[in-house]
Amino acid sequence: MTRILDYFDMTKPRVVLLMLLCALVGMLLSVPSLPQLLSEELLSVVYGLVGIALVAASAAVVNHVVDARIDRQMARTRNRPVPTGRVRSRDGIIFATVLGVTGLVVLFVLVNPLAAWLNLASWAGYGLFYTFILKHRTSQNIVIGGLFGAAPPLLGWVCITSTIEPEALILVTIIFLWTPPHFWALAIDRAKDYETVGVPMLPLTHGDRYTRLSILVYTALLVGITLVPFFWMSGWLYLVVAVALGLTYLGFSIFMLIDDNPKLPIRSFKFSIVYLALLFIGFVLDHYIVST
């Protein structure tokens, strides 16, 4: 049982769950009314979520294996299965391959080919391009790599419609702008760890103050883009949720800039997860309760 839990831990389950929530929202927003999901579309939802979860888990396992050396040196990650030797790197790669191939087959055969190809591109972007190159070569690793992490709502949308539409791209843009302030807050809190392993996170390359200012700028851009759906694809309930959450998140960013409280960055990081989850739930509630 312990060995199974070690493999499960390598899939970064909390991250995958947040991705699946965003993918599910993309699916639900792609259709005008919920009853349509009680027919053939329900199978596309189930198969789509299974496929997306497997591919995302595969990329997470690759990340665990590749980063095992630096994970051993960081307090936050030194107890992961590969650094501690509970899972061998070779076994991790086999596990990642089985997960990824199975997920892509499910998507290609049971959902649609476009969903499979987009998931493959997302897997390569995070599992290979970000993990091997971006993470270790540029302080903009999170900004550039965030494009791959922002894909879940588009992946979900495509599972249902087999098309890429502007509404889905708005959802992608929201997560893309959310990613830098989310991770930079963590980078401030864990700056010593990143310095130890030589990962060029923004607080190390440009300083703590610059990072906090960048967090504020990106948060402001994020709050701005979350207002766009009200004029296009959502209603008043979503707007209330977006404004309330946005002002709270902006508050965190402002206080981080004017207050050196060492606990603020990690609090902002944790709130950012709640922020994204509640914002996307607000999309669905508005879509099915108010707008229909």
**Section 73-94 average pLDDT:** 85
The pLDDT of residue 2 is 54
**Percentage of the chain modeled with pLDDT above 90:** 62
Contact 65, 36 (CB under 8 A): no
Tokens of 271: 């709130």
pLDDT at 4 exceeding the cut of 80: no
45 contact partners, CB below 8 Å, separation of at least 6: 24, 27, 37, 159, 160
Residue with the larger pLDDT of the pair 292 and 148: 148
pLDDT at 291 exceeding the cut of 70: no
Tokens of 158: 């495509």
Write the pLDDT tens digit of every residue in 98-122. 999 999 999 999 999 999 999 999 9
pLDDT at 22 exceeding the cut of 90: yes
DSSP 60: H
pTM confidence score: 0.93
Write the pLDDT tens digit of every residue in 272-288. 999 999 999 999 999 88
Contact 149, 178 (CB under 8 A): no
Write the pLDDT tens digit of every residue in 216-274. 999 999 999 999 999 988 899 999 999 999 999 999 999 999 988 999 999 999 999 99
Tokens of 38: 């009680």
What's the mean per-residue pLDDT of the chain? 90
pLDDT at 20 exceeding the cut of 70: yes
pLDDT at 34 exceeding the cut of 60: yes
Write the pLDDT tens digit of every residue in 189-218. 999 988 888 889 999 999 999 999 999 999
Q: How far is CA 45 from the centre of its chain?
A: 19
Confidence class for position 134, pLDDT limits 50, 70, 90? confident
**Section 38-43 average pLDDT:** 73
The pLDDT of residue 150 is 94
Alpha carbon distance 77, 81 (integer Å):
9
**Section 153-175 average pLDDT:** 96
Alpha carbon distance 41, 43 (integer Å):
5
